[in-house]
Copies of this chain bind each other. A is one copy, B any other.
Amino acid sequence: MFRNTYDSDNTVFSPQGRLHQVEYALEAVKQGSAAVGLRSKTHSVLLALKRSSGELASYQQKMFRIDDHVGIAIAGLTSDARVLSNFMRQQAMSSKMVFNRPAPVNRLVSAIADKAQVNTQEYGRRPYGVGFLVIGLDQSGPHLYEFSPSGNSYEYYAMSIGARSQSAKTYLEKHYESFVDCSLEELIKHGLHALRETLQQDKELNVNNTSIGILGSGSVHETGVPPSGPFRILEGDPIKPFLDSMVPKDAPPAAPAATTDEDVQMQD
């Protein structure tokens, strides 16, 4: 395939009005392991597939706390993710100190989007090579955003990024209309089913390779997950009940029964 200089400099347009370097950065995101996010009226959850660089390492962290009311899951270059998430944390802290209240979630997402836009326009730096799913909880309720290296950020009902995320999206598109009224437990289960779609044929979700991030408030009867509180990440054994309750791969997932007893309470 013949290439030209349009695609090696992020500061130029191709004749078709495209920015090749930005598109290549999106490829870097697609090579990260998948993450899934979804939200109900009361909760936002993240689910991510952890990769291990071999048996000798613990699985690599895919989720990060930004503030009590904001968490992220990443896909792409981990070192870029660290830089951007540190920046988000500083923005969050600074907001707390200056305004004495948590930063609005969309404000935090815009901050990294603006930072990323600069790298798509000015000479001397490549675009970031990482995408985020951001969940947050503020006065306007639970949120789910996707941040992309292009400098864009959109709000979603449910979303997936990373390798084979298209399969997860297909699952989510089939069920997303029911998410709004789901209990936290049901939301997590839907997320796990979506995440499972991103696995290669011979792989399975297990307590080691799966992370669950939760924001929102509500009671969770069966699994004992604390229904409300700051952003929390479930890993290891606490995940087991959820995995056990999953519909086997071949069977169609039964629509989870609606929960009715949630007491929605907004974090400040």
Contact = CB atoms under 8 A, between A and B. Distances in A.
Nearest to A32: B17
Given A8-B12, A12-B10, A12-B126, A79 B17 contact: no
B79 A152 contact: yes
Interface in A1-52: 3-21, 24-31
Interface stretch (A169-177, A227-235, A241-249): A169-177
Q: Report copies per complex.
A: 7
Interface stretch (A63-71, A156-164, A206-214, A254-262): A156-164
Interface stretch (A97-105, A117-125, A134-142, A184-192): A117-125
Contacts of A127: 13
A240 interface: no
A17 B12 contact: no
A56 B172 contact: yes
Contact of A55 (B53, B57, B173): B173
Nearest to A118: B83
A138 to B, nearest CB: 17
A265 interface: no
Nearest to A157: B56
Given A56-B172, A122-B125, A124-B124, 19 more contacts: A3-B15, A5-B8, A14-B24, A16-B24, A17-B24, A17-B25, A17-B28, A17-B29, A18-B28, A56-B157, A58-B156, A60-B154, A78-B152, A79-B117, A80-B117, A82-B151, A119-B121, A122-B124, A123-B124
Nearest first, the 9 closest Cβ-Cβ pairs linking A and B are A17-B27, A79-B151, A17-B28, A13-B24, A123-B124, A79-B117, A11-B126, A57-B156, A8-B12
21 contacts: A4-B8, A5-B8, A6-B8, A8-B12, A10-B126, A11-B125, A11-B126, A12-B21, A13-B25, A13-B127, A18-B28, A19-B126, A55-B176, A56-B159, A79-B117, A80-B121, A82-B114, A82-B151, A83-B114, A83-B117, A121-B126
